[in-house]
Amino acid sequence: MIEAEIELLSRTKSGTLCGALMRRYWQPTALSAELGMDKPLAVTLFGEELVLFRDGEGKAALIGRYCAHQGVDMIYGRVEPDGLRCMYHGWLFDNCGRVVLRGDWLPEKERRWDVGQPAYPVIETGGIIFAYMAVGEPPRLPGSEILANQSAEDVVTKELYSENYLRRMTEITEAVPDSVSFVMPNILAWDGAKSGSPSWLRWHVPVDDSAHVEFTLRYDGGLPFSGLSPASSYQSLLAAIETIRIEPQITVAPGEQR
């Protein structure tokens, strides 16, 4: 790759083409075990500061970290059955980032008010909380069958790296170029079944342009898909980004063969 292409693939913050690509796929945000019922959890994806919390039914939700009213940090908010309450002026945000208004003065007794608070859909499966941060219909989650049917021996881990996600992916693929598959846009997979060892799926999720979190699922069995060779991964990413550049509203295919 030339320097300009490396630069293009390394930048994933809001307003970048690679960032727009990443947001069009389900991305891990945290391990399920990290998010309790009583406190919110701060996370950062693609340079965007967010906060996770669980509603009264235990369902995870992801909204912007700073209150749309006065910019107060919602990490200090109070978790309630219907959402997360900002402790400055008492605004209660539901799972969709809307303010919940209640009172006899309202004809309908309750109203959900859209004030522009960022909010993203999430799914929780296999011990990981995933978020979809683009508009439109999300694609299928790669490895969803394995995540939903884990055994007691399967392991899910996360690790923070103080380096760009692309550099780490390059290091792994160069170390074992013939053994790793690539799945759009930031997943590496190892088929351990061929050698009698555990397989793994590894998401490389940018925190910002200088750090990323590596989420790894280790399990017994083969890969649930046919990925791409690492040698073609960069060109596949560049082609997908070019599609976004030309027609931003088109959803890019996952690059995964069933």
- CATH number for the domain that contains residue 40: 2.102.10.10
Indicate if 87 and 149 belong to the same structural domain. no
Give 6's Cβ-side CA count (13 Å radius).
Answer: 7
Selection from 172, 170, 190, 178 nearest residue 234 by Cα: 170
Number of domains in the chain: 2
What is the full per-residue pLDDT of the chain (258 aa) written as tens digits? 689 999 999 999 999 999 999 999 999 999 999 999 999 999 999 999 999 999 999 999 999 999 998 899 999 999 999 999 999 988 999 999 999 876 556 566 566 778 889 999 999 999 999 999 998 888 889 889 999 988 878 999 999 999 999 999 999 888 876 779 999 999 999 998 878 889 999 999 999 999 999 999 999 988 888 788 877 888 999 999 998 888 766 554 444 332
Indicate if 97 and 72 belong to the same structural domain. yes
| Residue written as token pair 């809307």 | 98
Indicate if 157 and 253 belong to the same structural domain. yes
Look up the domain containing 241 and give its range: 1-24+140-258
Indicate if 20 and 145 belong to the same structural domain. yes
Indicate if 242 and 175 belong to the same structural domain. yes
Question: Domain ends where: 112, 131, 150?
Answer: 131
Indicate if 193 and 155 belong to the same structural domain. yes
User: From its phi and psi, is residue 182 left (phi > 0), alpha (psi between -120 and 50) or beta?
Assistant: beta
DSSP 149: T
Question: Domain ends where: 85, 102, 131?
Answer: 131
| Cα dihedral: 231, 236, 238, 242 (round 10) | 160
Question: Domain ends where: 85, 114, 131?
Answer: 131
pTM score, two decimals?
0.90
Q: How far apart are CA 178 and CA 236, in angstroms?
A: 18
